[in-house]
Structure 1
């Protein structure tokens, strides 16, 4: 059953912003218009709606399909409607909401059964064939696309899947065989190693038993139980087990109990603890007495030092009367004040004499110079003669001499008093220094007395003194007596400590002897328990060796080895089957290539007329195993039979070959959902080859639905002439708003 694409609904895809619908003809739909009119957006919307982003990387890059969304709408949606012409159809919906990846959805209400599988197969078909036409050089330059396309078209994928299944089965069988062989080898090695280890252990236990004088062949559970009853304490109330494991657990419990150091008697422990506590108390008391003795000794030294300093000060103060010195100082100060007053009076008298002397001297000088005589007292003119004047001068001269002698006497007396004053000041300073020194000594004496008093108060607080002390000599005697008594107590305590240490040593020696006796008994019991335990181990090891020998001699090992041999035979058979399948695959590929090359050559000659290379052919270069595509080459053949690769052709011829391969693939690789999409395929064709391509599309449209978009006016004219009544033709306008989307109308 074949389905046709009847309608496409596009919204928010590339240049198509608002929803647009495009009805498609069952044979051919033509989209014409200038470049950038929105034709390619519809072609790419159909491709994206069918296979999403599964585009070959080279095509994706060259077509610059980096922007899927339209910026004027929130969502991107493409709906592709299919119908079989009898009322049955379905819808493929590709939706790309914001922040989500591409996810196609199929209308589940459609009546087509197995539609999901058909759609998946169509993805492979589109990916290998249809997308190659996006850039015709891709299918030529990239061999893997050509190989994949031809393998898919020739129907060789089933062989690939079958060979892949065989290879997987072979690898599984090989892995299983190798794993079983490894496990078998490891298990055998482990079993052998355990068996040898058990034998060595048995030999070791036999040597131990022989060392103790026990015959290993005479060992039995009954004998072991009887010996164990003798070793177990009488107060043990449990039952002795009869099995080997129970006996082992019982022996291990008693060994753990006896391995612990036997406990000492309670009274010995208590006595030892009591002696150690008493010794510890004596040591602590001795340390306390030593600290008290040190403190008393320090007090005694401080008291001796203070008493000595105080006696020295008292000796210095002895015979010195501070009041007498102070009265002498007051008397000297009084004499100093009197002499000072007399000096002041003499100074005033000297000043008066000096003034009078200066007046008389002035009068004398005046009389000597003047002709008139004046009384020096009343300042009146003397009218006597020269004698009178002379008498006056003599009087004045005598007065001057008397004044001069008086002044000299006063100055001499003043100097004498000044010397006396200086002596008195020196005596006063000496007295002041003596008084200050005595006061300093008195202060130091008071200080030492206070320190002695404080020290006596501190000593009085001692529990060994416990009385109020006021006399330093009494305190000194008490401290000496206290130190002596403390020394006696320390001596007694040391003797007591030595006695306690001797008792502790004796008790420890007694305890060690008791411990040694208990350990000797415990070791003897443990030795006997070890012998019994070795006998039990001997019994267990004999049982384990017997089980291993039975396991080694049994049949499952041989069955497992036979199974591994069968797996090896199966692997060889699968390899042989795969080689046969490869041969069938190669012959099938060659047969189908003949049919493919016949149609390819017809299409190529219908599309293009090369002056030299008239034929093309696809040849099988290498058969690949697994899912890898076979390798094919496209060869150009001349009329004389010369062969060359297609890389020697020009761009137009290469495009023609690519279109020929594409159209042939579409015709041979028919699929229920097949469609041929062409977007501007005539960019490098001349007018004659454009016409040939239009005629080729007329032939192929009978087998495959074709949708072609072109901006080439020559191709448009040829298509309209050939398909005016046989196809839907849509004309796209050049001027359109991006927020509205492409503008187009249907001509037919």
Structure 2
């Protein structure tokens, strides 16, 4: 049941920032206004309510249209965006669709009751059906004919309603691409594994040849690894080990039995362990370690003895130096007592001189206060009677100079410096005495250590250095005697090790051969075979998908041919009415090249070769209107956003007649900015018309100028 739009509510959508209600009549609705007045906003509002994205942004189906700025960026009230459309069916049913404030939030009501159905589903519409038979944005008209050849097929199949087959084909293409990537990854992994195997095989073969060459030099071959040859390989090593134990009176070790080549690595490791244990547990070896330890101790004792001797010599030199400068310790003590006594006497003289000076200063201050003519005064210095004041002042001043303190103070400083020198020298002697006591204790401890190593106390006149050197010489002599024994023992051990080395090379050869066998067996592993099988299955599936794609392509071509036959008659009828080209009487779509073609007599050609932009635009309109006339959904309205681009006035008049005739069957909402097309729409046919006039853009919001319903 077709529905037509009765009312559009906009708030915060594109140019309409303030809330606006638009009442739409049934029939032909003309939205007229200058550029940037809001015509496209009104035409886009129902589409945004239905699909939740701006119709002129990005792509809709396979048709690419001009990109615009996101509506959120164009509106300061984007967070309050809300669009609602009211629809009414021919039988009186009502449908309400509202979207906002976000793209994913919508409400659908049928006859006032909320239904859980998407907006497009409520009108039995698909996205392809919306573009091909309901909404015609400005750029889609020319996009139908101007897209790249690779997109023509998608555009034309969309116009005839083959979106399901196209979607299935796209799924097959995606699956084929995914499987192709998987197959390439598997093939790359297999190549890497094969390359790694080849590299490892080459390396193992090189090692195998090196070990085989060494064994051939010793007279052995690969056949020595057979079960019969294992015993002959092990016997020389066992025999050499037993001879070694017998020669040095050691208990023969218990070795594991070897019956197969796989047991050789364990046997070799066990023999090596036994050799290390026997060599470490040998008495000569132990004695050698003890002697080396003893030599290390003796060297330490000699160094300590030399250290004590050097310290004693330093103390002796220091004593001689002090004695040469200051004398003996008794001399120092006596000199210190004399200096202290002298210092006390000087301090007493300084005290007496200070008192005498203070008395003279007081007398001088007193006589300074007397008048110049005063006479018959007794002199306090010379006790002369009847002298004048001038004589007193002169006499007192000379006494102050005689009784000066500076010489006494200089003498005291000199005595103090000499006293400190003597005290420092005495302290040095005391410290040297303490150091001598400490060295004496260390010397006694060193003598005790040497006595313990020597085995008896040292004689009083016996030199410690000579004893230590004698013990060191004895230790070196014993080490020299052991050296011969140890060399013979090492020679015997090397003999066993040589036998064991041959056996180790055989073991290495066996291991290299096993590695080569393992590398050769990798292609036979279940994991590797599974990887090959996965690659084969992927290639098989890719082939099957290719076959399915070819079959589906053929099916699409056949279905297109059938559907286009239903569309062809109506398309050519509209073509003749809108274009009126007698030189090219009909047009059709070639399913092989997926292009619109025409003919002039017996000559066929592509439409883009003979038609100009205006004629191509008219042909695109014919394709859209023919598809809209045969649509079977419940959207009983058409939305045409400025369809007359590149059309002249003659084409405008013919298009107005077609739209007026189409408006008798369904609601047609068309926008335009030309007054000539507005006049043509107003005078074409006998149909109910409504003109919505928009005022020019005032940099704030779109607004209506007038709404004029006409009979």
Scaled by the length of structure 1, the TM-score of the pair is: 0.56
Q: How many residue pairs get matched?
A: 585
Indicate conservation of the 8 Å contact 1:221/1:244, yes or no: yes
Query: CA 1:465/1:270 → structure 2, altered by over 3 Å: closer, same or farther?
Result: closer
Query: Displacement, 1:703?
Result: 7.1
Indicate conservation of the 8 Å contact 1:12/1:19, yes or no: yes
| C-alpha separation in 2, matches of 1:703 and 1:63 | 33
Query: CA 1:249/1:739 → structure 2, altered by over 3 Å: closer, same or farther?
Result: same
Query: Displacement, 1:30?
Result: 0.9
Query: Displacement, 1:523?
Result: 3.6
Residue of structure 2 in register with 1:30 after alignment: 29
2:100 alignment partner, SS class: strand
Residue of structure 1 in register with 2:573 after alignment: 602
Query: Where do 1:305-704 residues align within 5 Å?
Result: 455=425, 458-459=428-429, 461-463=431-433, 495-496=466-467, 498-509=469-480, 512-513=483-484, 516=487, 519-531=490-502, 598-609=569-580, 615=585, 617=587, 620=590, 623=593, 630=594, 632=595, 653=615, 655-667=617-629, 676-682=638-644, 689-701=651-663
Cα-Cα RMSD: 6.4
Structure 1, unmatched stretches of 5+, are: 308-439, 468-488, 624-629
Scaled by the length of structure 2, the TM-score of the pair is: 0.59
Indicate conservation of the 8 Å contact 1:69/1:75, yes or no: no
Please tell me whether residue 281 in structure 1 is matched to residue 290 in structure 2. no
Report which of the two structures shows the higher radius of gyration computed on alpha carbons: 1
Query: Displacement, 1:696?
Result: 0.8
1:13 alignment partner, SS class: coil
Query: Where do 1:220-235 residues align within 5 Å?
Result: none
Query: CA 1:123/1:682 → structure 2, altered by over 3 Å: closer, same or farther?
Result: closer
1:463 alignment partner, SS class: helix
Query: Displacement, 1:582?
Result: 6.0
Residue of structure 2 in register with 1:43 after alignment: 43
Query: CA 1:239/1:45 → structure 2, altered by over 3 Å: closer, same or farther?
Result: same
Deviations 1:637-670 (A, max 9, x none): 7799797966987776565444334323434676
Indicate conservation of the 8 Å contact 1:677/1:706, yes or no: yes
Residue of structure 1 in register with 2:172 after alignment: 165
Query: Displacement, 1:122?
Result: 1.0
Query: Where do 1:234-249 residues align within 5 Å?
Result: 248-249=265-266
Query: CA 1:492/1:15 → structure 2, altered by over 3 Å: closer, same or farther?
Result: same
Please tell me whether residue 149 in structure 1 is matched to residue 179 in structure 2. no
| C-alpha separation in 1, matches of 2:118 and 2:261 | 72
Residue of structure 1 in register with 2:374 after alignment: none
| C-alpha separation in 1, matches of 2:251 and 2:134 | 98
| C-alpha separation in 2, matches of 1:255 and 1:699 | 108
2:138 alignment partner, SS class: helix
| C-alpha separation in 2, matches of 1:695 and 1:445 | 140
Indicate conservation of the 8 Å contact 1:33/1:731, yes or no: yes
Residue of structure 2 in register with 1:426 after alignment: none
Query: CA 1:303/1:116 → structure 2, altered by over 3 Å: closer, same or farther?
Result: farther
Indicate conservation of the 8 Å contact 1:10/1:77, yes or no: yes
Indicate conservation of the 8 Å contact 2:125/2:634, yes or no: no
Please tell me whether residue 300 in structure 1 is matched to residue 320 in structure 2. yes
Deviations 1:372-424 (A, max 9, x none): xxxxxxxxxxxxxxxxxxxxxxxxxxxxxxxxxxxxxxxxxxxxxxxxxxxxx
Query: CA 1:558/1:604 → structure 2, altered by over 3 Å: closer, same or farther?
Result: closer
Query: CA 1:442/1:529 → structure 2, altered by over 3 Å: closer, same or farther?
Result: same
2:16 alignment partner, SS class: coil
**Could you tell me which of 64, 77, 99 is aligned with 2:82?**
77
Indicate conservation of the 8 Å contact 2:141/2:620, yes or no: yes
| C-alpha separation in 1, matches of 2:126 and 2:471 | 105
Structure 2, unmatched stretches of 5+, are: 243-249, 328-409, 438-459
Query: CA 1:150/1:450 → structure 2, altered by over 3 Å: closer, same or farther?
Result: closer
Indicate conservation of the 8 Å contact 2:205/2:516, yes or no: no
| C-alpha separation in 2, matches of 1:235 and 1:84 | 111
| C-alpha separation in 2, matches of 1:2 and 1:575 | 41
Query: Displacement, 1:526?
Result: 3.8
Query: Displacement, 1:45?
Result: 1.4
Please tell me whether residue 252 in structure 1 is matched to residue 269 in structure 2. yes
Query: CA 1:107/1:733 → structure 2, altered by over 3 Å: closer, same or farther?
Result: closer
Query: Displacement, 1:179?
Result: 6.5
